[in-house]
Amino acid sequence: MKLGLEIHQRLDTHKLFCNCPSEGGNGKPKSVLRTLHPVYSEMGEVDKTSLAEAEREQTFEYLFYENCCCLVELDEEPPHPLNPEALRIGLEMALQLKSRPVDEVHVMRKTVIDGSNTAGFQRTAVIAMGGKVESANGDVRVSTVAIEEESAGIVERKEGRAVYSLDRLGIPLVEIGTEPDIKSPEHLREIAEKLGLMLRATGKVMRGLGTIRQDVNVSVEGGARVEIKGAQDLKSLALIAENEARRQEALLAIMKEAGKRFGGKVGLGGKILDAGDLFRGTSSKLLKTGLDSGQKALGMKLEKHAGLLGKEISPNRRYGTELSDYAKTTGVKGIIHSDEEMKKYGIGAEEFANLCKLLKMEKGDAFVLVIAPESVAKKALEKALERARMDYIPKETRKANEDGTSSFMRPLAGRARLYPETDIPPVRIGRELLDEIRSGASESLEQKREKLLKLLNRDMAERMLRSRNLKIFERLVEMKIEPTLAAATLEDTLTMLRREGVEVGGEHVLALFEEYLKGSFVKAAIADLLRETAKGKSVEEALEEKQLRKISGTELRKIIKENSKSMAAIMAKYRLRVDSKEVAELIKSM
Amino acid sequence: MYSSKISAMLKKAGISIGDRVRVEKGGQTHEGILMPRAGESDELVIKLDSGYNIGISSAGATLSQLEKAPKKAEPAPEHYPRGEIAILGCGGTVLSKVEYKTGAAFPAFSPKDLFNAFPKLKHMASVHSKILFQLLSEDMHSRHWSVVAQEVANEIRDGAKGVIVMHGTDTLHYTSAALSFALANLPVPVVVMGAQRSSDRPSSDNESNILNSILVAKSDLAHVGVCMHANSNDDYAFFHLGTKVRKMHTSRRDAFRSINTMPLAKVDHRNGTVEPLMPYQRRDEKRKLDLQNHFSQNVGMLYSHPGIKPELVSKFADYDGLVLVGTGLGHVPTNAFNDKLANNLVPSLKSLIDSGIPVVMSSQTIYGRINMGVYTAGRILQDIGVIGNGADWTPETAFVKLSWVLGKEKKMEKVKELMMKNIAGEITPRSNYEETFIDF
């Protein structure tokens, strides 16, 4: 199996082609309605992905929020020049990967007419090529580093209409694509994690849910390149790759079997017949509701496909599901095929038999059935037939499902999908800019790791390296806070408090340690104090209210006397207020 | 355009644009198609196999040819029989695609491409098409208006049931006004339309504008008008009277608005309806078109501004007519109160008018009516013979009308009379109240 990885990471700066902040939408959105149609590229080709989308007649509803959307997201104003900050961050990452910047950046339009971009294309630009990710399991070559704009997020799909939210449209992403040098799901996970860490180590990327996405390209011997989008985390990424390899192997086996049955040629017919009359008075709720509302029940015979449609190719997904996925691109909810349990649709044995008769099925034949408005139903069956006729594994872009399997999204996009964005002049990358980036660059991942290893034990150093609190840790160390205490507070204490439901911000930690340096309280009181300051109290107030001010000197001597110089007794009562070292020293001196 | 240095290098190596090439530089090798580029430059643009374009500085690069560009067969010219609707192309975004000469969207599509681009169009009407010009709309002037009017008239005389004029949007409202004056006694609809988003993008508004325009062209509304998006949605459009419409936004789809009036109709191709919003002239194919397509090519326009100098007005001495875009109700500096610092345009304006050059007033406020009776400045301007009191035209319509009037008449009194007579809906008798004449 050959695996390639594509990482998309959101950058911590304003949007790529306008000055809107990269933040979520607030308040009540307004909406506009749009349609999209395919166009020719500058090479005079039409992209097949676009044609596939165009087959589904759709209206797109775009929700826009005033705090983070302007006329650019609405495709009502030409894009502003490329955000120079985003380009710099992208170049910084490229340099870290030893990828070579291009001399001139050309922004391209990547046609996407599924509605996820108001313009009908996503703007994207290669900024560097080559380079590598080093790994114990084998280095992986980087093919390209690109910056591109985030697409709009899907909110809802209805019949003939898709609703998208424009808040995230235009947020800058850096995209790092590798060559198919990755050898196993485990290797994949390692490379993905390493790239993620490198990106975060710059401190210039966004963090949190949805800010990083990994797509994986999978192909097996005799199979095809399939790109799977939308893996939620590293664990599922490896599982998705594993499942895809298995799916391709299963499809190869099905193709072999089909080849035998057909004697080497696929001559599938595809007569579509109206089976509505067979289901008058049916007890199938699905069919009844559809027919009553004027929809048609159309059926089609698939010669010599009995048993094939029911073959499992991924966990809980059959070959029939593949046909169904293709049919769904026309807007239907799914198809029924003869390898399925008819009972689950409420279709009776007699209805089944009559349908087979109507479609003139012979032994070994299968059928597909669909309920939808006539024109849609017809297109759906044609799509299912198109897939059934493929005697090869199609190159596809697929969507990751939550269970680690994937579903067909669209054919893999070709180069006809890209044409120049003429609204943005090319941007030259000069030597001065690169020198400036090099001198202003944050430390690389390796430099950071080395530094942390000098301050912390290996385990804590690795944790800190992955932590979103890394920046605060660095600040605390600069303040001369003992590194182990700083790390333990940020990683352990904060986690403990979060589990209690107390969210502590970085500013609270910094304020508290400033006071700590003055000797106002002891380490043991940190958690209790943070619990209070997170609620908005000042450190001073928290110290007074919770009576956590450090006891030392004369007062401490008094306590030692009262407790007959017993360390254990003193610590039991005053653990949160006294420094054990000081107690020990005083006991000795008294 | 590559720099002369690169062009010479390509020529020497026998490489032309479109060839598949290899570029080696600094230990890296790139293969792809050599693309044309915008502007004079030393960066080679290569289309990689992934489809991405990148720029590589030619300094230190070695270039070799891998494959000659495949020769594309010239498509055979297609002939469409005459249809009921004539489509005339004048260039513009509605018919444009990427052009490398300038690196920008450039008019290049022929209208016949529309059938391929918009299959729905075929089901709505039979059409035929003709390209009149391929130019950017800002390059159009009154001589072009004469040609367009003549061509529209020819189509109507040859039996077209409606005519669509595709046009760049920047000056679309000038042309719609020009056609409104030039095509008197109009028997069928004439629709001027364009697109605000270039046709090379899937989101272009050209599709719904074209489909809506076809509906109008087939409708009962025998007017010259502009059919464009009514709002930001790709749904219905407005059909605006040709003399009362103006481009009011640099980029939005709904940039064209009716000024000082309602649109003539609301048009929705999704359900095939044309809903009139104003009284209109009905289609009558027996009505005989009266073509009056002579325009003066020598009319000027002057936008008044604080501190405007009398000398600037005098520069128009060799023009046939001048449109002032005045402030407020129709004013320019007259220094009515003899301020020490203020300028006074009256003597230079008077000398223009006295020498036989008509001067017409319009307002920078765009909305509202000229009234030169309220303030002293206006009265002074009326006294010296500035034309336009009481008109509610846009500056652009005033400009086109003066060009048209001067194409027929030279005598000041006749010019004045024609200017102040409503010819094509440009002067309304009453200012109707609208709750919001403009948003915000």
Contact B57 A113 (CB under 8 A): no
Do B281 and B303 sit in the same domain of this protein?
no
Do B210 and B282 sit in the same domain of this protein?
yes
Identify the active-site residue in B19, B112, B161, B169: B169
pLDDT at B16: 86
In a domain, A587, yes or no: no
Do B340 and B242 sit in the same domain of this protein?
no
In a domain, B76, yes or no: no
Judged against a pLDDT cut of 60, whether residue B106 lies above it is answered with no
A-B CB pairs within 8 A amount to 129
Helix H or strand E encompassing A164: strand A161-165
Identify the active-site residue in B93, B175, B243, B397: B93
Q: Mean pLDDT lowest for which of A125-129, B81-85, B141-145?
A: B81-85
Do B314 and B211 sit in the same domain of this protein?
no
Q: Shortest CB distance from A420 goes to which of B56, B98, B204?
A: B98
Do A173 and A204 sit in the same domain of this protein?
yes
Do B286 and B338 sit in the same domain of this protein?
no
Distance CA A290, CA B331 (A): 69
B93 tagged catalytic: yes
A571 vs B277, higher pLDDT: B277
Do A300 and A330 sit in the same domain of this protein?
yes
Q: Domain total for chain A?
A: 3
B177 closest CA partner among B335, B16, B4, B299: B299
Do A382 and A464 sit in the same domain of this protein?
no
Do A84 and A138 sit in the same domain of this protein?
yes
Distance CA B20, CA B46 (A): 9
Do A110 and A243 sit in the same domain of this protein?
yes
Distance CA B253, CA B292 (A): 32
Do A233 and A294 sit in the same domain of this protein?
no
In a domain, B375, yes or no: yes
Do B104 and B214 sit in the same domain of this protein?
yes
Do A247 and A273 sit in the same domain of this protein?
no
pLDDT at B93: 66
Judged against a pLDDT cut of 90, whether residue B248 lies above it is answered with yes
Query: Residue B108's pLDDT band (boundaries 50, 70, 90)?
Result: very low
A161 vs B163, higher pLDDT: B163
In a domain, A397, yes or no: no
- 3-state SS, A300-319, equals EEECCCCCCCCCEEECCEEH
Contact A119 B51 (CB under 8 A): no
Structure tokens at A69: 């959307």
In a domain, B237, yes or no: yes
Residues of B in contact with A426 (CB under 8 A): 37-38, 43, 45, 55
Q: Structural domain of residue B60, as residue ranges?
A: 4-67
Strand partners, B34: B46
- Give residue-wise pLDDT tens across range A464-515: 988 888 889 999 999 999 999 999 999 999 999 999 999 888 889 999 999 9
In a domain, A426, yes or no: no
Q: Which amino acid is at B86?
A: A
In a domain, A588, yes or no: no
Q: Mean pLDDT lowest for which of A120-134, A264-278, B39-53, B308-322?
A: A264-278
Distance CA B396, CA B247 (A): 10
Distance CA B346, CA B325 (A): 15
Strand partners, B258: B245
Average pLDDT, rounded, for chain B:
91
Contact B28 A100 (CB under 8 A): yes
In a domain, A431, yes or no: no
Residues of A in contact with B118 (CB under 8 A): 37
pLDDT at A442: 75
pLDDT at A53: 57
ipTM confidence score: 0.88
Helix residue spans in A159-233 (DSSP H):
185-201
Q: What percent of chain A has pLDDT over 90?
A: 65
Do A167 and A34 sit in the same domain of this protein?
yes
Other beta carbons within 10 Å of A256: 10
Distance CA A220, CA A414 (A): 20
- Give residue-wise pLDDT tens across range A259-318: 888 876 666 777 899 999 999 889 999 999 999 999 999 999 998 999 999 999 999 999
Which CATH number does the domain housing residue A288 bear?
Answer: 3.30.1360.30
pLDDT at B99: 43
Q: Shortest CB distance from A106 goes to which of B54, B57, B232?
A: B54
Do A290 and A253 sit in the same domain of this protein?
no
Contact B201 A121 (CB under 8 A): yes
Domain end residue (candidates: B291, B319, B345) = B291
Query: Residue A572's pLDDT band (boundaries 50, 70, 90)?
Result: confident
B405 vs A569, higher pLDDT: B405
Check residue B315 and report its DSSP letter.
G
- Give residue-wise pLDDT tens across range A179-232: 999 999 999 999 999 999 999 888 889 988 889 999 999 999 989 999 999 887
Query: Residue B74's pLDDT band (boundaries 50, 70, 90)?
Result: low
Residues of A in contact with B48 (CB under 8 A): 126
pLDDT at A563: 85
Q: Are A368 and A355 in contact (CB under 8 A)?
A: no
A589 vs A129, higher pLDDT: A129
In a domain, A557, yes or no: no
In a domain, A139, yes or no: yes
Q: Domain total for chain B?
A: 3
Judged against a pLDDT cut of 90, whether residue A58 lies above it is answered with no
Which CATH number does the domain housing residue B173 bear?
Answer: 3.40.50.1170
Judged against a pLDDT cut of 90, whether residue B131 lies above it is answered with no
B361 closest CA partner among B400, B322, B414: B322
B119 vs A362, higher pLDDT: A362
pLDDT at B31: 93
pLDDT at B121: 82
Do B311 and B409 sit in the same domain of this protein?
yes
Q: What percent of chain A has pLDDT over 70?
A: 96
Q: Structural domain of residue A233, as residue ranges?
A: 2-258+414-420
Query: Residue B227's pLDDT band (boundaries 50, 70, 90)?
Result: very high
Instruction: Identify the closest residue of chain A to B53 by CA–CA distance.
Output: A106
CA atoms within 13 A on the CB side of A143: 15
B169 tagged catalytic: yes
Distance CA A407, CA A318 (A): 11
In a domain, A201, yes or no: yes
Residues of A in contact with B200 (CB under 8 A): 39-40, 419, 422
pLDDT at B88: 92
- B interface toward A at CB cutoff 8 Å? 26, 28, 30, 37-38, 43, 45, 47-57, 72, 97-98, 103-105, 117-118, 197, 199-204, 207-208, 231-235, 250-253
Give the mean pLDDT of B294-307. Answer: 98
Do A47 and A107 sit in the same domain of this protein?
yes
Structure tokens at B45: 């643009």
Judged against a pLDDT cut of 60, whether residue B20 lies above it is answered with yes
pLDDT at B72: 63
Compute CA B404 distance to the chain's CA centroid, rounded to the nearest angstrom. 17
Do B378 and B282 sit in the same domain of this protein?
no
* B25, B201, B210, best to mutate vs chain A, most A CBs in 10 Å: B201
